[in-house]
Structure 1
């Protein structure tokens, strides 16, 4: 259902009165004998006026509606809660929730912090990440929730399946009085301190759980902040019909997040994930539909603050772009940070600005403070390492799909690129090779003819002006194949030396120096501090840059759900979306398009057919999302 921004904003502003019983602007009075405790708001943000060391800590258990391990008992969701002491004396507080499968295995943050009850009193003493330190003193409850099948929750993980997806909504139902909860002694506990609004946040799997919860439409989820998050598990494990990760990757990941003591117990559940996901064909089926949140974007009632790395090769950037577009079509209030790094938390690529922005985002959506954040530009883009710019939307305004034709290579030369088509009756042939490496696929223009038997390369002339693309490039070719099966891959390359984001370490490195963000405490002889190691960008001056890439299974050109063999010798249309990008090719650089069959830099399962692929130039082109459209492409010399 489409919602107008004015209606959303009016509703949020009205929430401030409910939250504190006081006006939405200005500072609340200090609590006295007959006064209700309240927030202090200065400069449009909540102030750290509540204690951290004396905060209330609880561990609550809520029974779900699933039984993943088939033991006859419904799985129980466990969560650790920290909230200001005054929330036990009248202050209604919102929740910042990080639901995760990782708290006892991989753990969280760049220091791999785990949850732990150090003194054995049944309360959590180790609180990963800074959310508790920073937000509890500012009038929030923080919940670290164990996904079903992990840590203190029962059941077995199902890697994006229903049990994963309902873990957080089960807790939100309890927070809003729709489901009972209890403590370790079995006593019923109610969240009478909750103001009815929950925000979810997290990186990777954690952010994916936030996307899943929002796609469920659960009432009481007010905002989500998915960082490097999955929007479709099919797109995470597959690429257009090709398996891009190891067989039964779903089972492998489920094993990783399961407590070691329970891995044998959950082995039958894990073993079923691989066959259900159909590693044989790589096709989309009901298993993946259950793990696909994009079709359910119409259920989202929460605002969404998306953060993603444009060079994230773990959760690739098509996850953010498809989710972002689906939300935009439905009028969901949204914000985007797009970094040039890889699979990295914004706390580790833009720390101070991130804490400030996240604070204002949560204050607006969860505390009802009109601090202007929704009137700011919706998009922040990292154009170069630590160089940021803003935009009102993404793709950028005035981006137009622009056809750049692949011109047939002459003998001994690379093909050309131009907004004007070349002869349509030309063709060129190369042989798919499953052993081609990424380094062989991208060559400096001083050696443009390397591996001509196994790829086709198309080069522009040196650009006469910068060329900016923003969005998803699409390779479109007509091809014939001498067999029934092969892959088709496309690369977009920037040939030219400049300082760029390095791919090493996802573009960042952790330093030894620390800085601190919030309150500290000593529980049970363990000091819970708020200090975290700083992070710096990795940069390199490379002679070329792989800008974006894509690959498609020749058996899935028309349908991801059904594999259809190619007809040898039949001319076939191949439309291949590359990964989304926002990139500026500098003047003097050359744009390169590389066509391949198998591409080992993307798919873990290369075809072994060694088919010969003939490209016909009556249709072959790349559609680039050019800011300024064809006029800008012509001005740059294309």
Structure 2
């Protein structure tokens, strides 16, 4: 795709078409949108009595409206909450850009919306763009390319400051009802169900809107889109969550293990846009109700878990996620995807090898085209065939993409892999495994990941390693692995960690380095520009390197939460327990000749924070197993003695103490 600039059509031709539309009857007032499954049909039926708008040519929208002359306005939408307790309902700032010519002609347009806590504090996108305003306080520049590209094509763009951030009132409650409700209120306003006001207090309506809204956003922004979709709000036709959270508990707790202390309070303070003390009560509630001292899943977390409400989702869902995302881990998309699938929600998925990245910075031209067609279908009602294509785009190796019907890959089956004792230093994966009662023990050493997985054929205190034989054929893992362990522990609890490792030389994405993407000095442009807001962005490329091994996926469990995440069950030292450590979802093909490794450890200072250390864990190998989601007929070869695998040793300077692992989603 070449740089996406405005079409060369003359303004005179566009004006003539619009003048004709002015003579036509204006459309009826916007009504609540139909459920997503009927979205294009509903849009077609509603438009059947109207002329085709000038921004539609065939089955796609084209850039006919002036971006420079677009209407730019800021309004404050009233929500149902009073999250700061001042006796007045919260009002959220909504900065909008929409085509002036369409408004003059009475042509209603749908809305693409990015609701974010980051517009003031931190910026959006690879270049951390922030909103800017003119002297009257009206939006002059919105981050990202959405307005530049889509407004000339007959869309409005709305950049929403979530409650308690930037120019909005209220308090940020980090994934909770006030946050989600503040974005939902904007959808309601666009459908005539909520009130909004200008800066000087005048009521304002959205009569220019069709009522059809598509929410998009990366990380926290995409998490909000998931939350709003889970309310079932009419009018939300589609969402595009990128590297997004579907359960805030699973973001801040790993199966009962604390990711980092004071995480909700940290995120609240990071994005808080209110004056000092205005949200002190909300901050105190976040810290108290999150139950950091127990790690339990409680009512606070249930409010921030969108998955159980998948049955209420009316919107279609286009998910994008990096399989090596260590910030918002892959189970966030995988469990949400599964729930949506069970409810029959129309959906699409992009999976790529990078970490916490936007596909705009991974595969730019193809992403913009795919997003354009998706919005045209779900917001403009154009039958362009996007829903007839394979559901999943998947990057299988750096720069190598394929499509498939669904995810996990069709034909995936759960394969139980036995653990064997091997030579007493390195165990085995596959074959008959050890007999029940064959034990191995390891003592918590708080090893770094590099120490855990390097040199698997060498005895290292604080870990257990199990290796397959060299693969005789490529092995495809697609889905969510887990490890079922029969253990006895000499402490009331300990953290249990598990990692799957690909041992073998290959060129891989360096996702530990800038999430696997490098920013270049060249630029490409994606839409129209003004002096205040250009549509040009630095190009990017994937960062790759040849390495002799790579961690594929990880999993954590607080052993005392093995029965339920809602309460702890302290372990007795004289008892054996069966526990399951779920690993993050993954998709990978291990080449023939490589070796698959399973590495078990305990406290994990690079990823989690725990006070429960120094336990000894005994594992009954014969009653433990790895469960792999595999495709095709290939499996792990039978092996009695683990192959000798040599890797570069771990960096001896790696930190061995706990650190602050808090990130911003």
Shorter-chain TM-score bucket reads over 0.9
Equivalent position of 1:32 in the other structure:
none
Equivalent position of 2:635 in the other structure:
633
**Which among 576, 580, 583 is matched to residue 571 of structure 1?**
576
CA distance in 2, matches of 1:561, 1:444: 38
Contact 1:599 1:606 in 2 (8 A): no
SS for the counterpart of 2:278 is: helix
Residue correspondence of structure 1 range 225-264 to structure 2 within 5 A? 225-245=240-260, 247-259=261-273, 262-264=275-277
Cα offset, 1:88, TM superposition: 2.0
Cα offset, 1:293, TM superposition: 0.4
Residues 313-338 of structure 1: CA distance to partner in whole angstroms, max 9, x if unpaired? 00000000000000000000000001
Query: How many correspondences in the alignment?
Result: 605
Equivalent position of 1:443 in the other structure:
454
Contact 2:471 2:636 in 1 (8 A): no
Cα offset, 1:478, TM superposition: 0.4
Establish whether residue 115 from structure 1 lines up as the match of residue 131 from structure 2: yes
Establish whether residue 586 from structure 1 lines up as the match of residue 624 from structure 2: no
SS for the counterpart of 2:150 is: helix
Contact 2:35 2:237 in 1 (8 A): no
**Which among 461, 470, 473 is matched to residue 469 of structure 2?**
461
CA distance in 1, matches of 2:292, 2:372: 43
CA distance in 2, matches of 1:193, 1:65: 23
Cα offset, 1:86, TM superposition: 2.4
Contact 1:466 1:636 in 2 (8 A): no
Judging changes above 3 Å, is the alpha-carbon distance between structure 1 residues 606 and 354 closer, same or farther for their aligned structure 2 residues?
Answer: farther
**Which among 105, 116, 120 is matched to residue 104 of structure 1?**
120
Cα offset, 1:281, TM superposition: 1.2
Establish whether residue 219 from structure 1 lines up as the match of residue 234 from structure 2: yes
CA distance in 2, matches of 1:297, 1:352: 31
Equivalent position of 2:43 in the other structure:
15
Establish whether residue 389 from structure 1 lines up as the match of residue 389 from structure 2: no
User: Which one is further off, 493-502 or 63-72?
Assistant: 63-72
Establish whether residue 519 from structure 1 lines up as the match of residue 549 from structure 2: no
Cα offset, 1:450, TM superposition: 3.5
CA distance in 2, matches of 1:315, 1:395: 19
Contact 1:551 1:602 in 2 (8 A): no
CA distance in 2, matches of 1:421, 1:618: 7
Equivalent position of 1:367 in the other structure:
380
CA distance in 2, matches of 1:440, 1:205: 32
Equivalent position of 2:628 in the other structure:
624
Contact 1:13 1:370 in 2 (8 A): no
Equivalent position of 1:34 in the other structure:
none
Cα offset, 1:461, TM superposition: 1.5
User: Which one is further off, 613-622 or 316-325?
Assistant: 613-622
Contact 1:20 1:38 in 2 (8 A): no
Give the TM-score normalised by the residue count of structure 1: 0.92
Equivalent position of 1:554 in the other structure:
559
SS for the counterpart of 2:210 is: strand
SS for the counterpart of 1:225 is: strand
Establish whether residue 414 from structure 1 lines up as the match of residue 426 from structure 2: yes
SS for the counterpart of 1:360 is: helix
Equivalent position of 1:614 in the other structure:
618
Contact 1:465 1:636 in 2 (8 A): no
**Which among 144, 149, 164 is matched to residue 164 of structure 2?**
149
Equivalent position of 2:484 in the other structure:
476
CA distance in 1, matches of 2:422, 2:288: 44
SS for the counterpart of 2:403 is: strand
Judging changes above 3 Å, is the alpha-carbon distance between structure 1 residues 436 and 379 closer, same or farther for their aligned structure 2 residues?
Answer: same
Contact 1:303 1:332 in 2 (8 A): yes
SS for the counterpart of 2:634 is: helix
Cα offset, 1:605, TM superposition: 2.5
Judging changes above 3 Å, is the alpha-carbon distance between structure 1 residues 601 and 587 closer, same or farther for their aligned structure 2 residues?
Answer: farther
**Which among 417, 435, 439 is matched to residue 404 of structure 1?**
417
Residues 498-523 of structure 1: CA distance to partner in whole angstroms, max 9, x if unpaired? 0001021100111121110111124x
Q: Where does the alignment leave 5 or more consecutive residues of structure 1 unmatched?
A: 1-5, 29-36
CA distance in 2, matches of 1:186, 1:570: 67
Cα offset, 1:60, TM superposition: 1.1
Equivalent position of 1:530 in the other structure:
535
Cα offset, 1:534, TM superposition: 0.7
CA distance in 2, matches of 1:606, 1:593: 25
CA distance in 1, matches of 2:420, 2:276: 55
Judging changes above 3 Å, is the alpha-carbon distance between structure 1 residues 20 and 354 closer, same or farther for their aligned structure 2 residues?
Answer: farther
SS for the counterpart of 1:618 is: helix
**Which among 154, 157, 160 is matched to residue 175 of structure 2?**
160
SS for the counterpart of 1:57 is: strand
Give the TM-score normalised by the residue count of structure 2: 0.88
SS for the counterpart of 1:521 is: coil
Residue correspondence of structure 1 range 65-214 to structure 2 within 5 A? 65-89=80-104, 90-117=106-133, 119-214=134-229
**Which among 70, 73, 77 is matched to residue 58 of structure 1?**
73
Equivalent position of 1:486 in the other structure:
494
Judging changes above 3 Å, is the alpha-carbon distance between structure 1 residues 104 and 7 closer, same or farther for their aligned structure 2 residues?
Answer: closer
SS for the counterpart of 1:495 is: strand
Q: Where does the alignment leave 5 or more consecutive residues of structure 2 unmatched?
A: 1-33, 641-665
Establish whether residue 431 from structure 1 lines up as the match of residue 443 from structure 2: yes
CA distance in 2, matches of 1:606, 1:468: 37
Cα offset, 1:276, TM superposition: 1.0
Cα offset, 1:355, TM superposition: 0.4
